[in-house]
């Protein structure tokens, strides 16, 4: 089934992220509605030149600020900020959970860095840490996400539909899988369904999810 025009992928302004899109993007064979939600189906194949043109904004031209709201904007955290997460993670392995104070400090530092880079998270955004076991595939869902960051030690495979659920023409419509290197993240356009796919991994995915504020958020 032909990939329809929808949101685009782009490196966020003010970030220097080296992305070789043809190596990072693959397409699946379709989606299936299950009791848990939509699930993307392998096998995964490289995107064609025509599909890349549909998915990725032309990096040779400047991206207008008004275009960004409809884009999945890729960004990267600096190495020192990623390293700062190792302390709370080490405590988690000993205590069975990440200490709240250490996680709150780390999340605050992430928010300040993104604001400095002119990609501010929403006021009262909610930060969640999610660990998916290797080989585990998470359903595509609308979790009111603003963005997510790969805090694991391996590339994380993130799966999206590039059009809203109501625009999917049928179960054979190809989901899009893109690779986030450790320390890389993405700001997600509103209404996009997103999941993860852990096939072929040795280590769990460790994802920092940044959710839009809802009733009672931050209370």
CA 159 to chain centroid, in Å, comes to 8
Query: Is 84 part of a structural domain of the chain?
Result: yes
Higher pLDDT, 26 or 70: 26
Count of structural domains, the chain = 1
Query: Is 3 part of a structural domain of the chain?
Result: no
Task: Give the mean model confidence (pLDDT) for residues 191-210.
Answer: 81
Give the E-state strand segments of 57-125 in sequence order.
Answer: 71-76
Higher pLDDT, 149 or 96: 149
Grouping H, G, I as helix, E, B as strand and the rest as coil, residue 185 is: strand
Query: Is 219 part of a structural domain of the chain?
Result: no
Query: Is 21 part of a structural domain of the chain?
Result: yes
Say what the pTM is.
0.87
State the alpha helices, DSSP H only, in the chain: 21-24, 49-55, 79-84, 86-95, 100-116
Nearest to 207 by CA among 180, 168, 170, 188: 180
CATH assignment at residue 83:
2.60.120
Hey, how many other C-beta atoms are within 10 angstroms of the C-beta on 3?
A: 19
Identify the band that residue 183 occupies on the pLDDT scale cut at 50, 70 and 90.
very high
Segments forming the whole domain that contains residue 33: 8-211
Query: Is 19 part of a structural domain of the chain?
Result: yes
């Amino acid at each position: 089934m032909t990939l329809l025009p929808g949101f685009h992928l782009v490196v966020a302004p003010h970030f220097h992220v080296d992305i070789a899109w043809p190596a990072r993007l693959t397409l699946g064979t379709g989606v299936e509605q299950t009791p848990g939600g939509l699930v993307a189906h392998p096998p995964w194949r490289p995107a064609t030149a025509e599909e890349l043109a549909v998915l990725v904004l032309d990096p040779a031209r400047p991206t207008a600020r008004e275009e960004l709201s409809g884009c999945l904007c890729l960004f990267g955290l600096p190495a020192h900020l990623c390293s700062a997460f190792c302390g709370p993670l080490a405590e988690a392995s000993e205590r069975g959970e990440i200490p709240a104070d250490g996680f709150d400090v780390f999340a605050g530092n992430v928010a300040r860095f993104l604001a400095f880079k002119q990609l501010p998270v929403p006021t009262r955004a909610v930060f969640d840490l999610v660990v998916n076991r290797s080989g585990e595939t998470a359903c595509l869902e609308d979790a009111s996400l603003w963005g997510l960051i790969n805090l694991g030690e391996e590339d994380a495979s993130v799966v999206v539909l590039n059009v809203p659920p109501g625009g999917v023409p049928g179960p054979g419509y190809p989901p899009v899988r893109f690779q986030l290197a450790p320390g890389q993240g993405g700001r997600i356009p509103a209404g996009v369904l997103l999941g993860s796919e852990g096939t072929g991994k040795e280590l769990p995915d460790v994802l920092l999810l940044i959710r839009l504020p809802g009733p009672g958020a931050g209370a």
